[in-house]
Structure 1
Amino acid sequence: MELIGVEVQGFRRFKDSTSVRLLENSIALIGQNESGKTSFLDALEELNSEDEILDQNQTRRVDVTTRIEATFSLEDEDYEALKPVENSGNIKKCTFTKVENGFVTARLQPGLSHNLEPRKEVKSKLEEFFESPVFNRKTNSRISSNLKELSDKLGSNNDYLGDQTINFIQENSNRLEKILENLDSEEFDADLVKQVIESLEELATHERNSQPEQARKILLQRRPIFLSFSENDRDLKSKYDLSNAVPNPPSALSNLAELASLDLQELKEATESGTVHLANDLTDEASKELEGAFSKSWVRTDVVPLLDIDGTILHINVLTPDDQNRAPIHQRSDGLRWFVALVAFLNQKDAGENPVLLVDEAERHLSYDAQAELVEVLETQTVAQKVIYTTHSAGCLPSDLGRGIRPVIQKRGERSDIRNGFWVDEPGFKPIMVAMGLNPLAFTVARNSLIAEGPCETILLPTLIRQATEKSELKYQIAPGAANVGEKRITELLSEAGRSVILLDSDSGGRENRDDLVDAGANPQKIKTYCDFSDELLVLEDLVDLQKYVEAVNNELNEWQDPDAELNTDDFVEKNRVQVVEDWCQTKGVDAPSKVNVAQRLVKMASEGQRIIDPRKEVVLCRIDDWATSHFVTPSDSQ
C-alpha cells in the first residue's frame, strides 16, 4: 500500500488537526528551526507500535485528543492478501489511527457491509426468552443480568461487535447449556432454551467472520513501517580501521557488514593474526553478497560497493566508470555513498514491504553539490516507497520546486501547522525562502527561474516540458506568481543581469498583464504568453492529454469524495477544461477538485511512467523551453 496522506492532532506543537497530502515519492519538510519538522517525523514513527503516546509528546495545556492518522491507497499485493474477504476489491484506501492509549485501528474506505440481521433475530429471541417461565424461575440474578446486558449490546450497528462481546455471547451460551442440562422438560419449555443456545452459537460464528473486521486485521498486519534514517546510519566512510571499529562498529558499517554477511570480528582476527588469505576470502565473499543485494535494489553496476582489506584497514570502494579500477566510494559521489548506506540500513532494519523512509536534516555535513546529488538519489531510489525528509537548506530542495515541498509554519503559542503548498501572492522563490528563514533575494538571483502564472505551472509544467523535449533535467526552475509580479518587482526580476523570464496565460488577463509589465519597462523578450508559441489561446491544462486529464480528475474525486464519480472525455469541449470540470461537479453535487490537486495527480502519473502530454502540443512546449533556455546563463557559458 502507498502512503497518500497524514493527519496529526494534539502531538507536540501540532495542537489543531494538521492534514498533509503526500502523493509524491519524495517530500521535503521545510521550515525554520524549532518549527516542528522533527516532531512530524516522530509522529509518523508512533504508528509503528501500540505503545502509549508519552505525556511529553502530547500537546501541553490543552484539552485535545492526541491522534495520528496515516492514509494509504491499496495496491495489487494488498488485494491479493484480501482475496479471502468478500467484496474486498471495493476497498480503495485504509486509514490507520493511533490515539493516546496506543491502540492502532484501521478504517476502510469505502467500508464493507456486514449483515446485522442475525443480531436482530437473536435480540428478538432473547426478548421472547425474557418473558418465559424458565427465565424467570431458573436463571439467577447474574445470568439474567448478563443476558439483558447482551441484548443491549446486540442493538449496536457497528460492523464488528468486538472480541469481548463475542466472547460474552459464548459465555452466555455456555451458562444456558448448564441450565438446560438440569431442566425439567415437562415443566419448562426446553425447546425455547435450545433455540436461544443455537442462535447464540450461530451469532458468535457469524460475528467472528465479520468481513470488514477480517479486512482490517489483514491490512493492519500489512501496514508499512516508518523508518528513521539517522545521521549515524547514513555516515558511511570510505575506510575503517578494524582495530578501532570492532567490536562496536558504527551503525553504517554494521549495516553494510550484515548485508554482506560479513563477520567483522572474524575479519579483524584474521588481519591481526596475519592470515591474509582468510581476510581476502572473507572480503571477496562479502563483495559477492553485496553485488547480489544491489542488483536487486538499483539496476546499475556502478553502484555496487566492493570491499578490500589492507592490513587492518577495511576499504569500501566502487568500480571506476571504465570498470578497470577501484576507487574509494566518497570519490564517486556523496549521493552514491548515501544510497549504499540506505540499502544496507533497510536490510538491517527488516523493513518489510514498502517502508516509508524518514530523514531528519538531510543536508547535514553535505556541501551544496553533495546536497544536489542527495536530492537526485531521493527522487530516483526505489528501495523505499516514499522519502519524507526535513531541511532548511536551499540546496536540498526538490528539483521541481512545485512538487514535494511542505512548509512547516510556526504559529503563536508554540504551535505549528503544515501547508500543502508554499504558494502565496509573492512571485518567484520568495515564499519558499521566507518559510525557511533564508534570504529570498540571494536565493532567487542564484537560480534560473521561469516565473509562471501560479502553483499549477510550478507543479506540472516542468514534467510536461521534460516529456516534450526528452530532457532529463531543465536548466531552470519554475516558480509561481507571474500574475502578481507588479511594477515594483519587475525591475528586480527582469534586469539585464537577472535570471528570470515570465510566462503568462493566453487569456485576456494574461495578455493585459504582459502589456502592463512591458509598459513598466520590462524587456518584452522576457515576457511571453502561451499564444506566443501557438496559434491557439492556450492555458496550462490544454497541454495535457485529455484522457489523462480526465483520469486524474476522476482519481482525485474517487479518492477523496465520490468513489463512483466518472467524468468522460465526451463531456469536454476543446477548451476551458477547468470550467467543464467545475460545471460537471456542480450537477453531481460534489466539490470540484482543486487545480493544484489535479496537477499533483498528473505528475504522479508521469512519475509512474505514463505519458501525460498531448502529442499535438509537444512543439509548443519545446518552443517554451528554447525561449527560456536562451535567456539563462549556464555554467558552461561562464567558463
Structure 2
Amino acid sequence: MKLVAVTVQKFRNFVEPQRIEIEPDVTALVGKNESGKTTILKALHRLNPANGDSRSFDLVTEYPRWRLARDRRENPDLERETWPVIAQFALDQSDSDALADVLPARPMVGTTLKAAKNYANRYTVYFKADLADVIEAACSDASVGSEEVAILKAESSLDDAIAKSKELAKSLKEAGEAALAKAASGFASAAERHRYLLETGQLDEDQLTALKARVPKFFYFSNYSVLPGETDLTRLAANVGAGVALEEQDQTVVSLLAHAGVTPADFLDANYDSRKAELQAAAGDLSGEVFKYWRVNTDLAVVFGDDNVAVLNPSTNVQENHRLLKIELRDARHGDVETNFSTRSSGFQWFFSFFAAFSEYLHTSSPVIVLLDEPGTSLHGEAQKDFIDYIFMELGASKQTIYTTHSQFMIDPTVYEKLRAVHDKATRENREGGVAVTQVSLSADRDTILPVESALGYSISQHLFLGSGPHLAVEGSSDFIFLMRMSAYMEQNGKTPLSPKLAIIPVGGISNMPAFVALMGRRLKVSALVDGATTDATLARTRKAASENGVDPGSIVAVSEVDSKLPPTADIEDLFAASDYLRLYNWAFGRNVKESDLPSMPVPIVKKLIDLHGKYDHALPAHALTDNQDDFFATVKTDTVSRFEKAFEKLNQALTI
C-alpha cells in the first residue's frame, strides 16, 4: 500500500485544506522556518504512529486559535466533524490478495483507501473508489459482456447501474441471448458485494480491523530523538512496563535495544553480561550501516558500558540502585580514546541516532513510512549530500520517505519533481491566509524556494568550474557581455580577440573577487579583471588571495592598467570612448546625453552619469550593445577598439603566467 496524498486542514497554521501529493519513493518539503513543514509530518505521525509520540489531537490548543470560538458556535459538533489529517493510499497486489477473503469482494489494485483522524481522535479507514471502476469490477465478477459493460459504466450511480442491468437481462433473454442475460442478471449481486468500495458503513469491525492492519505506520525522527550518552535503564524499564509515553530520546534507546533483541528490563537481571554481549554484536552490525555513509571519521567504534548508581526515590525518600547504560565511542584515530557519545559532534550524534532509531524497521518488510524532520542540519554540507544519497538510493527505495529541509545540501535538483514548497501566507492583516503547499516553481515565494535555487546554482557551478578550461573572473553580467561582443568584433576584423580558452565567470560583485580567486585558484587556472571605485583596495586583496593560493598575482589585471590615460579607478565601461558608451547609455535609457554634458574630471564615466541622472542598471547598456551591434560597430571609435585590444592582449598574456 502506497501513500498517494495527504490533506491537512484546520490544524495549527493550516486553515483551508491543503492536499499534498506524495511521491512513491521520496518527497521533500522545502520551506522557511515556521512555515508548516513539521506540522505536516506531525499530523501524519499522529494518524498511525510507529514510534514515539502517541499524543492525541487537541481541539483547544491546535485548532486555528482565532477561529475556534466562532467555529464552535456555528458547529457544536466541531470536534467530531473536523478531520485535521486525511491520508490517501493506493492498494497494491499484496493488499488485494490479503483482503480478498476478508472483504465482501476482492478490492481492485489501485483502489483508493483513506485513513483519517478527527479532533475527537477517532481513527477510521474507508474506501473511495471511482464508480466506473466499481461497476467494471462487478461486471468482471459476473462475466458481463463488453457491450453491456460500456452501457452500465455510463450510469451515474450504482443503483442506476443495477436497474439498467435488470433491463439488459430482460431484453437479452427476449433476444435469445441466454448466457449474456444470465451474466447481466448476476451483476446486481456482484455490485452489492462491491458497494463497500463506494459507501462507508458497509464493513463490520473485524473487516475494519483487518483493513487497518494493512495501513502503513509512520516512523518520525527529529533532532529531539538523538540518543543520550547515558540512560537510566531502571527508570526506562519501569516506564515501558507501565505504558508511560516515552520521550523521543528514550524511544530511540528502546529501538536500539530492540535491534539487539532485548528490552530495558532484560538488563536488570543476572544475565546482564550476556545481554550486553548481544547489544555489542548489534552495535557492530549497526555501525556497519552507519559507516557506509559517515565518511568524516571511519575510525570510530561504538562501545557500550554500564554503571550502578544510587538514586534517591522521591516518593519513598529511599536510595535505590539503578543501572545506567553508557554509550561511548572509541576513536582509533586518536589512540583508541573512549569518549561519551554526548560529547561527540552533534552531526555524528544525529547520524548514528537515526540509524539506531530506525534499525527496528531497516531490513524488514513492515509497512512503514519514514518522516524525517530537518534531517542532518548539524552535518557538514558534504555529509548532508552523502545522507541525501542514502535517502534516495536506499531508504526511499524500500520505504516511502518524506523529509523537511531548508538546506541547499539536502536538495537534489535533478529530482525537482519530488520537491514541495511549503509557504505560510498568513499575515497580521490576513490570518486566514494559512499555509499553501505547491509544486516548486519560479512562481512560488522566493524565500521559500531559496534552498532549491542555491542547490541548483551549486550544482551548475561545480560542473561549470570543473568542466571547463582556464577561468577569467569578472564582476558581473555587463562585463561578460562587453568582453564577448568586443571579442567577436575583433575576431571578425583581424584584430586580437580574447582567447577562446578563457571561460568568463561573473562572480556577482567586485567584493566576491578575492574569495573566488582564493577558493578556485587551488584547483583551477584562474585570472581576473578588476574594476570599480574600490580598485586599489580590491586589487590588493585579490592579488594577496592569489599569492596565498598558488595563483600568480600577475594574472590579476586591473582595468586602469590597460591604458595610462584611464582613470585610476576605471571601470570596464571606460574602455569605450566616451561618445561610444554614451550611445549605449542613451539607447538603453532613452536619453540624449552628450559628451559636453559630463564634467571633465578624471573619474569613471559611470560615476559621472550617476552624478548626472542617478543610479542605473549597468547591464542595460550592455544589452543595448547586443541589440544594436550593426549600428554601433558601423561607427565605433578607434580609441574603443584600441583599448579593448590592449585589454585582450593583457588578459591573454595572463594565460601563460
Classify the TM-score, shorter chain: 0.3 to 0.5
- Which protein has the larger Cα radius of gyration, Structure 1 or Structure 2? 2
